Amino acid sequence: MTDLPTRDQQSLEDCWDLSSLFPSDGAWEEALTEVKGMLPDLTSYRGRLAGGDALTVGGFLRRYFEVLEEMEALGVYAYLRLSEDGGDPDRQRLWNTYLSWSTEFQSALSFVEPELVRLSETVVEELLHREDLADFRIWLEKLLRYRPHILPEEQERILATLAMPRSLARRTFSSLNDVDLTFGTILTPEGERPLTHGTYLWFMEHPDRTLREQAYSRYLEAYKSHQHTISTLYATQVQQDAAEARLRNHPSSLHAALFADNVPVELYTHLITQVETAIPLLHEYWRVRADLLELHPLRLFDTKVPLVKEVEVHYPYERAVNLVAEALSPLGEDYTRTMRDGLLGGWVDRYENRGKRSGAFSYGSYRGAPYILLNYDPRVIRHVFTLAHEAGHSMHSYYSARSNPFPHYQYSIFEAEVASTFNEELLLSYLFSTTEDARLILYLHNRHLDEIIGTYFRQTMFAEFELICHRAAEEGHALTTNFFLETYHALLEKYFGPAVSIEGLDPYECFRIPHFYRSFYVYQYATGITAAVTLSKAVIEGKEGAVEAYLRFLSRGGSSFPLETLREAGVDLLSEDPYQVLHRVFEEHLEALKAGLSRT
């Protein structure tokens, strides 16, 4: 870690250019002061909206969204600055200043939605039909859906004030997981190495089985030693979800979680049902893995080790950008030129430095560039796929922001993983068609199988666990440590089958999943890859109208609900078809991997 450059040692051309948001921290602080000065004007509408006429409400909406747009830019800038070096006090101050003000802002304006949902039908009709207020029409229509679920103003104000305590279970788990839990170091053939969240996958992919088992046991023992604390935190999260659902007049926690995207609860259970039809295929994969590794039975710490070692490559960043652009050329010149110009021209923070956030993400705002954080390593082929993945997110944001007014430009999380995974699918197809390296081809088959398992099967298993836990709470059952362990043990046996022995510490994995504190979130990874595979196959196979349909999907933003947007693009997630397409793709890669390895 000590040989990493500091932030000020990074070349400017390798760093993102945040000037599309603010030219400097000083300009950011000036903008924040201006926004603070706008708050009294907005709060002066308290008590005037519910009984107001269209002229009053329209005037408020213009001012309100002007401030929200500025707030978004302020928040994105502060977060991106913190991501550059989380240990820098000035960057910490910037982010904490924004968080403090954002909480005050939300509390002060907690009257807005309760008043707007009480507008008379006459005023609503006038608002929805006035051309000078057309930019707010879709946002207002979506808000009015919440009429049965928004509480009186005083209760909403109390809930807004209690935002921090209401997130206590999530924040406590995050502190325990990210700060307090330590796993020590492990002696490896490469020398002493710390076991952390960041290095855990490296250990699980190590060819030395003894080393894998040692790291796996050390890692889960830490969670076992805090099992009762963590089970209390998760039980609190589940019970809070149930209480808030009842408070807001939703039939269940699941209904409440899916309401914003107008997703029927039937889709959630439909996903689980469709995945269950492919579990025999998944079990076949585990059997093949066991045979190839000559391990009978497998253990969970054997399920990540690559069947094909990662091929040595050298893709300098600029070459990787060109490769991704070539792979995405079916989408047309406008898409690839815009993407290439952005990836080479200030959208991306490319390389690791001390204090920089790990991993990768795409994050932007309506008026700024769709920025990307990477920790790019030219020797790792997975990092080329990460570049394609995050570019997919950023191009989705680019098209959405340029095709919609601010109030409804943001696409949903449900749709977010579609564009990113779509890009990976086109990159994979391009590499298969252009490489003659048999080892790389086998590696790519292996990698794609693991991606489908991790994104589709595993996330659905997590989703099923969440559903069982929430239903149990809503039926009055006690959510004890043993309940969580027994439920998770049964799901591990269901998804891994007879080729994998589930024993010992394995069920304690349920206590290490951060996404469980964002309830009913993970299922969207599974639906995302399902939709992306169908859409990408249509483009790869040259289906008439497929490119145009996909680009329309990118441009829809939040102008309609996600199932409708995807249906227009050619994917009906309430049918069986897209799931069957994904299952066939999984089977094809499995057969290709088996055939290829049998020849080596």
Distance of CA 219 to the CA centre of its chain: 24
**Positive or negative, the Cα torsion across 72, 258, 553, 450?**
positive
- In total, the chain counts a number of residues equal to 600
Residue owning tokens 């929805």: 128
Q: What pLDDT, on a 0 to 100 scale, did the predictor assign at position 531?
A: 98
Catalytic residues: 390
Q: Domain spanning 9-163: which superfamily?
A: Oligopeptidase f, N-terminal domain (1.20.140.70)
494, two tokens = 């269901």
Nearest to 374 by CA among 320, 423, 325: 320
Question: Does the pTM exceed 0.85?
Answer: yes
| Partners of 298 in beta bridges | 500
Place of tokens 């907690």: 110
Edge-to-edge strands, sheet with 348-349: 348-349, 371-373, 361-363
Placement of tokens 């889709």 in the chain: 267
3-state secondary structure labels for all residues of 94-120: HHHHHHHHHHHHHHHCCCHHHHHCCCC
> Which amino acid type is present at position 109?
L
CA neighbor of 275 nearest in space, from 495, 451, 593: 495
Question: Do 447 and 382 contact (CB within 8 A), yes or no?
Answer: yes
The answer to whether 54 and 325 are in contact (CB under 8 A) is no
**Partner residues linked to 235 by β-bridges:** none
Residue in the block written with tokens 């788990």: 173
Q: Return the structure tokens found at 149.
A: 């679920």
Q: Confirm if 201 and 301 have CB atoms less than 8 A apart.
A: no
Question: How far is 373 from 390, CA to CA, in rounded Å?
Answer: 8
| Helix, strand and coil in the chain, % to nearest 5 | 70, 5, 30
Output the CA angle 189-315-305, nearest 5 degrees. Answer: 35
Contact at 8 Å (CB) between 437 and 488?
no
**DSSP per residue over 540-561, as a string?**
HTT-TTHHHHHHHHHH-TTSS-
152 backbone dihedrals φ, ψ, rounded to 5°: -55, 155
DSSP 8-state symbol, 356? P
Give the chain's end-to-end CA distance (angstroms, integer): 38
Instruction: Print pLDDT tens along the chain (600 aa).
Output: 447 899 999 999 999 999 999 999 999 999 999 999 999 999 999 999 999 999 999 999 999 999 999 999 999 999 999 999 999 999 999 999 999 999 899 999 999 998 999 999 999 999 999 999 999 999 999 999 999 998 887 887 777 776 767 788 988 998 898 888 999 999 999 899 999 988 899 999 999 999 999 999 999 999 999 999 999 999 999 999 999 999 999 999 999 999 999 999 999 999 999 999 999 999 999 999 999 999 999 999 999 999 998 788 899 999 999 999 999 999 999 999 999 999 999 999 999 999 998 889 999 999 999 999 999 999 989 999 999 999 999 999 999 999 999 999 999 999 999 999 999 999 999 999 999 999 999 999 999 999 999 999 999 999 999 999 999 999 999 999 999 999 999 999 999 999 999 999 999 999 999 999 999 999 999 999 999 999 999 999 999 999 999 999 999 999 999 999 999 999 999 999 999 999 999 999 999 999 998 886
Q: What is the CA radius of gyration of the chain?
A: 25
Beta bridge partners of 399: none
> In a 10 Å sphere around its CB, with 0-12 CB exposed, 13-18 middle and 19+ buried, how is residue 327 labelled?
buried
From the CB of residue 55, how many other CB atoms can be counted at a distance below 10 Å? 11
Q: Burial letters for 435-444: b for 16+ Cβ neighbours within 10 Å, e otherwise?
A: eeeeebbbbb
Residue 197: what pLDDT?
Answer: 86
C-alpha pair distances (Å), 521 with each of 103, 526, 574, 575: 23, 10, 18, 21
DSSP one-letter code for 534: H
Structure tokens at 530: 């399902």
Q: Which residue do the tokens 């909403």 mark?
A: 156
What's the confidence (pLDDT) of residue 1? Answer: 41
Tokens of 117: 């949902």
Please give the pLDDT value at position 312. Answer: 83
